[in-house]
Amino acid sequence: MDGQIVPIAKPVTSVVPARPFDPFRRAKSAAAETIVESVLHVVSRYEDKHGLRKRKRKAVDQATYETTIEAIVCDLLYRHLEVPSGQLHVSQSNQILRKKSRYKGQALGKTLPDLLKVLAIPEVGVVEITPGSKTFKGTDYNPLLAGAGRQTILTAGPSLLALQEHFGVTFTGFGRSDDEEILLLRGTKQRDDKPAPLVEYDDTEETNALRQEMQTLNAWLETVPLSCTDPQINTTDRRLRRIFNNKDFAQGGRLFGGFWQGMKHDARLEAILLNDDTLVELDYGQAGLLLLYGLIGATPPTGDLYDLTEYGFAQECRPGIKKVIQASINASKPLIRMPKGVRKTIPASKSFSATLAAIGQRHPAIVHLFGTRVGLQLMRTEADILVAVLLELKSRGIFALPIHDAILVEPRYEQEATEVMKAVFKERIGLIPEVSVESS
């Protein structure tokens, strides 16, 4: 191409809201790497032609320069694959770009604004920039990564779209940087409609060990021969992370990420294929209550732990009773009214106080822990169990996809995976759980 990129007609602008710029997007396939190299070549020629560089960059600065351009190019192309002419938003504030953070990534640095200006020059044509607005509203808004206030809008430019068309790069052409933080620590949640802000932390032996486990699992998931019958699902989106709460690594820690976690339950069982076969879901039964009993070293009553028929509640009330118990476990103070949605299964004739009294009679050993926000502590234990299950299955050559307190595996490994789940739970908690099985 000798530095010349032939523009193509730009598609009609999408009305889909912009999403945050992902600074960790990287080229994975030969085609994507060639596109990045082409852009770097064009930018270098432009800088030389116009005398923008008086001296050669230092090695560390050159690495940052190349990484930033790679992230911009890859995420613009990725966004275009998600939504034709889809947009990204990013802050160009020095308060954001010059701030040190384990969550930012190298591409969200002080050189970003200058590089965007060069990439937006028509002669280069990699990105089109729309100045930010203070009233901007996007999706997945994260003040730490995206920056509060004014946001710059980025759209793939004609030259970059020409390269995409020429090389035919797809989702499989992109990967993620190994520098991406996969242990996220959130502060205290202030509003129900917004996640708590991310907070910085110093690494310890514990966080290093937790991160190593996740790196092992993510590297393993990259090799899984997954496919999906739904063409709208991007099966390359597999990286998992753990999110902890309230500035405390003892709280939360569930696994998030992976395309399968965002799918509906039935769709996961019907559309995801591993070695051309659908998967079965293995789910811990009544895990929350079992974890609570295990926490205090008590023995739970026999039978269904959410069954209050002995105390005058019909079997149809079970879903509501479960919601009351879960809400009580997660609450920071004793509940004073029925949680939302409970009245769909518990009739008005059963007062809230009567419901709590029946639960207390069924579970006298643990009811004192209701309203103590112990749920996030149990969630940490539950997530640790799931990670241990995944690592054990990996050691046996069995692929599994995690969904909070459940996993997806091939049907041929149903029995072995079930045994592993029970064994790990018993080792950690001292109780043997039930494991239910669902298939398409």
Q: What is the pLDDT of residue 309?
A: 96
**Six-digit token string for 242:** 């753990």
Alpha carbons 184 and 214: distance in angstroms, whole number: 12
DSSP, res 343: G
Question: Which is it for strands 277-278 and 280-285: parallel, antiparallel or unpaired?
Answer: unpaired
Q: Which residues does residue 174 pair with via DSSP β-bridges, in sequence order? A: 27
Tokens 């205290």 correspond to what residue? Answer: 188
The residue ranges of every structural domain in the chain are 19-176, 183-288+375-438, 306-362
Q: What is the pLDDT of residue 115?
A: 96
Q: What is the pLDDT of residue 137?
A: 56
pLDDT tens digits for the chain (440 residues)?
Answer: 444 444 444 444 446 788 899 999 999 999 999 999 999 999 999 988 888 877 888 999 999 999 999 999 999 999 999 999 999 999 888 888 888 999 988 999 999 999 999 999 999 999 999 987 665 555 554 545 545 568 899 999 999 999 999 999 999 999 999 999 999 999 988 777 677 889 999 999 999 999 999 999 999 999 999 999 998 899 999 999 999 999 999 999 999 999 999 999 999 999 999 988 999 999 999 999 999 999 999 999 999 999 999 999 999 999 999 999 999 999 999 999 999 999 999 999 999 999 999 999 999 999 999 999 999 999 999 999 999 999 999 999 999 999 988 999 999 999 999 999 999 999 999 999 999 999 98
Q: What is the pLDDT of residue 226?
A: 94
Alpha carbons 296 and 311: distance in angstroms, whole number: 25
User: For residues 378 and 292, is the Cβ–Cβ distance under 8 A?
Assistant: yes
Q: What is the pLDDT of residue 7?
A: 47
Q: Where are the alpha helices (DSSP H) in 121-261?
A: 143-146, 158-167, 205-221
User: For residues 154 and 90, is the Cβ–Cβ distance under 8 A?
Assistant: yes
In degrees, rounded to 5, the angle at the alpha carbon of residue 13 between the alpha carbons of residues 7 and 17 is: 130
Alpha carbons 436 and 111: distance in angstroms, whole number: 52
Rounding to the nearest 10 degrees, give the CA dihedral for residues 52, 56, 61, 66.
70
Which of helix, strand or coil describes residue 160? helix
User: For residues 411 and 439, is the Cβ–Cβ distance under 8 A?
Assistant: yes
